[in-house]
């Protein structure tokens, strides 16, 4: 009798494990293959060989790139090389990516940048917020951009118990931001277990020097975050749920959900087209290929444009798609004056003239 009960429990456990594995494959879109959607007048950006996970462009056309991200379980073409911040002036006839010098005292050897965001203060000071994973920990670094010598002055390192697994930030003040946590836990094993069990425990946090609080929760894996041009709404990408959440921002900085846009791809970083207010999304059509890297069958890339997201039927179009032969693992797309930049988790970056 005891053996029968044991075998029954083992069977139930194996069944549950199998069901979770199948569900994870579905969340990763593990069987998806795509057809290419090419753009003319594109070239790979020289000097970006190990990914440009996030890109943010100032209104004057200066673009910042977060390069060299390394995460446990994620492929890297240069695992021992620290990350950095690059800049490109999109007003130049032949723009080049140049690495920005960072002020003394900042630990460059462990710099591992992830999501980034800029904020321009009333006195025209430009602040750059950078999610950093030194030794796979979690901080948000605040820099002042010094255009006269193309450098970053490090101002502050932010750590907080409500920021255990930061992915992306959107700055809303000189020391104020919303941040996404893509996991509830910081421990690598617990992160994996959380993803496997599909717990939906991830969240969005508001940070200011006077207050830190969770303002939205219940996401599968909260990822990219941005703000509408009128500053009334926050957009959040839930990568494993294939959704973009629209949340209304209140005077007390709390958020309430307005709508959810369901898509058929893994949505990563979100950028805003300043000329139209459209949302550009860096996407992963097949997430399994990101984590099980095969150079003969590399991860594909996809960029979506979302128009009128607040309407009943937003228009979703594919701007760019590639099977990995040119660009592997697209994570972000940003546009300025008919110039499109596409970054990746750990591969190259693409510049296109639209």
pLDDT at 9 over 50: no
Would you place residue 19 in the very low, low, confident or very high pLDDT band (cuts 50, 70, 90)? confident
Per residue in 256-270, pLDDT tens?
999 999 999 999 999
Per residue in 163-202, pLDDT tens?
999 999 999 999 999 999 999 999 999 999 999 999 999 9
Determine the average pLDDT of the residues in 300-326: 98
Would you place residue 4 in the very low, low, confident or very high pLDDT band (cuts 50, 70, 90)? low
pLDDT, residue 15, reads 54
pLDDT at 6 over 80: no
Determine the average pLDDT of the residues in 64-79: 95
Q: Report the catalytic residues.
A: 114
Binding residues: 53-54, 116, 167-168, 223, 268-269
Residue 295 backbone class (left: φ over 0; alpha: ψ -120 to 50; beta: rest): alpha
Upper half-sphere CA count for residue 120 (Cβ side, 13 Å): 8
Domain extents in the chain: 32-353
pLDDT at 222 over 70: yes
How wide is the angle at C-alpha 296 spanned by C-alphas 293 and 297, nearest 5°? 60
pLDDT at 11 over 50: no
Residue 281: what are its φ and ψ, rounded to 5°? -125, 125
pLDDT at 18 over 80: no
Per residue in 108-154, pLDDT tens?
999 999 999 999 999 999 999 999 999 999 999 999 999 999 999 99
**Over the chain, what is the mean pLDDT?**
94
pLDDT, residue 317, reads 98
pLDDT, residue 16, reads 58
pLDDT, residue 73, reads 87
pLDDT at 14 over 90: no
pLDDT at 62 over 90: yes
Separation in Å, CA 215 to CA 8, 181, 212, 226: 43, 12, 9, 15
Would you place residue 337 in the very low, low, confident or very high pLDDT band (cuts 50, 70, 90)? very high
Determine the average pLDDT of the residues in 19-29: 88
Residue 196: what are its φ and ψ, rounded to 5°? -60, -40
**Rounded Cα–Cα distance for residues 100 and 325 (Å):** 30
pLDDT at 104 over 80: yes
Determine the average pLDDT of the residues in 226-243: 98
Determine the average pLDDT of the residues in 280-287: 98
pLDDT at 76 over 90: yes
pLDDT at 12 over 70: no
pLDDT, residue 20, reads 76
Which of 347, 21, 113 is CA-nearest to residue 100?
113
pLDDT, residue 5, reads 47
- Decide: pTM greater than 0.85: yes
Percent of the chain with pLDDT over 70: 95
CATH of domain 32-353: 2.120.10.30
Binding residues for Ca(2+): 53-54, 116, 167-168, 223, 268-269
Which of 345, 354, 258 is CA-nearest to residue 305?
354
């Amino acid at each position: 009798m005891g053996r029968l009960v044991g075998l029954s429990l083992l069977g139930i456990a194996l069944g549950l494990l199998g069901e979770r594995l199948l569900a994870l494959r579905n969340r990763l879109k593990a069987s998806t293959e795509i057809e290419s959607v090419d753009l003319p007048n594109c070239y790979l950006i020289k000097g970006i060989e190990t990914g440009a996970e996030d890109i943010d462009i100032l209104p004057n056309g200066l673009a910042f790139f977060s390069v060299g991200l390394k995460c446990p379980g994620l492929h890297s073409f240069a695992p021992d090389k620290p990350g950095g911040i690059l800049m490109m002036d999109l007003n130049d006839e032949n723009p080049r990516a140049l690495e920005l010098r960072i002020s003394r005292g900042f630990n460059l050897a462990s710099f591992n940048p992830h999501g980034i965001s800029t904020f321009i203060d009333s006195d025209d000071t430009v602040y750059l917020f950078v999610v950093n994973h030194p030794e796979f920990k979690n901080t948000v670094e605040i820099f002042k951009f010094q255009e006269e010598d193309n450098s970053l002055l490090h101002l502050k390192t932010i750590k907080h118990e409500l920021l255990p697994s930061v992915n992306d930030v959107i700055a809303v003040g000189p020391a104020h931001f919303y941040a996404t946590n893509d996991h509830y836990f910081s421990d690598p094993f617990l992160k994996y277990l959380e993803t496997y069990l599909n717990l939906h425990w991830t969240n969005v946090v508001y940070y200011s020097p006077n207050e830190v609080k969770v303002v939205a929760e219940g996401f599968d894996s909260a990822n990219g975050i941005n703000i509408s041009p009128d500053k009334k709404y926050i957009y959040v990408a839930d990568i494993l749920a294939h959704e973009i959440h629209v949340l209304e921002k209140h005077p007390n900085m709390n958020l309430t959900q307005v709508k959810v846009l369901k898509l058929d791809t893994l949505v990563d970083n979100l950028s805003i087209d300043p000329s139209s207010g459209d949302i550009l999304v860096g996407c992963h059509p097949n997430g399994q290929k990101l984590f099980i890297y095969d150079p003969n069958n590399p991860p594909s890339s996809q960029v979506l444009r979302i128009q009128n997201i607040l309407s009943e039927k937003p228009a979703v179009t594919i701007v760019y798609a590639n099977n990995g032969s040119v660009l592997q693992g697209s994570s972000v797309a940003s546009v300025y004056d008919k110039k499109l930049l596409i970054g990746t988790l750990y591969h190259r970056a693409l510049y296109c003239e639209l």
